[in-house]
Amino acid sequence: MQPEEKKWEEKRKYKRVYVRFPVEYRGKSFWQIVQARDISAGGMFVVSEKIEPPQTKIEVMFTFGEDDKRFIHAEGVVAWNRSKPTDDGTGNILPAGMGIMFTKFLPFRSQKFIDDVIKKMESENDA
């Protein structure tokens, strides 16, 4: 008898989209320009060979949007990291980097703006 497989369940509060755009990253140990791979109103994943440990406070700055692009400055924490590229088991290589959870936005309305843009992107993809 095989042990019952646990199914992975999405626990994110906000929808995310896969993207590629530059992000200015300032952490405890270094400052760097990295590339975002996905984003939601709650956080983002950034590709980086230089990683910091979970719970490290960070700042990110980036421009986001389709037609109406906005500059966003967010504070956050490293939620998790991947220190080296990893095979996901299906042949896809997942890059090294960090999952960032946003904790504060400047301007404050940026979180809603990100969520609205993602919803618009999803509705356009469904059409």
Taking the model in full, what pTM does it have?
A: 0.84
Sequence-separated contacts (24+) of 114-118 with Cβ below 8 Å: 114/39, 114/40, 114/41, 114/64, 114/72, 115/14, 115/15, 115/40, 115/41, 117/64, 117/65, 117/66, 118/14, 118/15, 118/16, 118/17, 118/39, 118/40, 118/41
Tens digits of residue pLDDT in 35-79: 999 999 999 999 999 999 999 999 999 999 988 899 999 999 999
CATH number at residue 120: 2.40.10.220
* 81 occurs within a structural domain: yes
The predicted pLDDT at position 1 comes to 43
Tens digits of residue pLDDT in 5-46: 444 455 667 888 999 999 999 998 889 999 999 999 999 999
- What is the domain count for the chain? 1
